[in-house]
Amino acid sequence: MPLFSYEGSNAEEILFDNFDDLIENNNFCAGAVLYNNEIDPSSPGFWGNDASVEEVLHTINTCSHVEIYPDIFGLQPNSSEMSDAMDVARGGQFLTVPSNYPEEGWYHYDDWTCDYECMAMEYLYWCIVANMGLLDNNMICSGISNEWELCTPEEFQDIDILMHTIITNPEYKIPQLAPDGNYCPNNSLLLEDSVNRCLIKTIDILGRDNHNSSFYLEIYDDGSSEKKYILNK
């Protein structure tokens, strides 16, 4: 996922200027971007403080779930189990934002720039974080009530039955636990011998095959990667 120091930076302009080429010719996928001022490591995923969990989930969902399981997570109307569930959650199928949502709905996103596919992606995010318990806070629940009403995992399970069944299905490997900023990897992994690994690819910051950049990533066959800087270029 692209991470930028600030909105409108030179790096962001370079990405968007090359976006079509990256997608068509370099197997690039981006479901979101993130800015430095949207990150708060002390409150991972806390609504209003940290957007990293939302944007990471958008990226994972766009580049994996929607592509791998189109019958389950397809974004088009009437295309998937998720689109059917969203129509129920909104109180009907609306291709554009209605002037008023039906009272029986619990998902009523009102951004006029967000089309049906955009609405579906936001719906998937709300379902995942509701199931994680990231919304189970009075301040958060009040702040998001104009868009989403199910604040606790129990409410989500009891009310959005269709989507809860999808989210908790282990086949789709949807994250179930909320990140808390504390990670304790197995110590043996830190001591793992990396002598036998082989370099398989070198890419630049935009994900392109490039050996002439002053900053690049080396990707190895064991799944590891290393950042490389050339200071005198």
Query: 39-91: per-residue pLDDT in tens?
Result: 887 777 777 778 888 888 998 999 899 999 999 999 999 999 999 999 999 99
Helix (H/G/I), strand (E/B), else coil: 200: strand
192 and 179 within one domain: no
Average pLDDT over the chain reads 84
Residue 223 belongs to domain spanning? 188-229
164 and 65 within one domain: yes
28 and 114 within one domain: yes
128 and 59 within one domain: yes
Check if the beta carbon of residue 49 is closer than 8 Å to that of residue 43. yes
170 and 128 within one domain: yes
- Give one DSSP letter per residue of 9-57, joined into a string: -HHHHHHHHTHHHHHHHS----S--EEGGG--TTSTT-TTT--HHHHHH
Reading the block at residue 231, the tokens are 């200071």
- Strand (E) or helix (H) holding 215: strand 215-220
173 and 64 within one domain: yes
196 and 130 within one domain: no
85 and 69 within one domain: yes
200 and 119 within one domain: no
162 and 65 within one domain: yes
Query: What are the pLDDT digits (tens) for 180-189?
Result: 766 665 544 4
27 and 83 within one domain: yes
CA distance 180 to 228: 29
Please give the model's pTM, rounded to 2 decimal places: 0.73
102 and 165 within one domain: yes
How many domains, in total, are found in the chain? 2
pLDDT at 159: 97
* Residues listed for the chain: 233
Reading the block at residue 177, the tokens are 């636990």
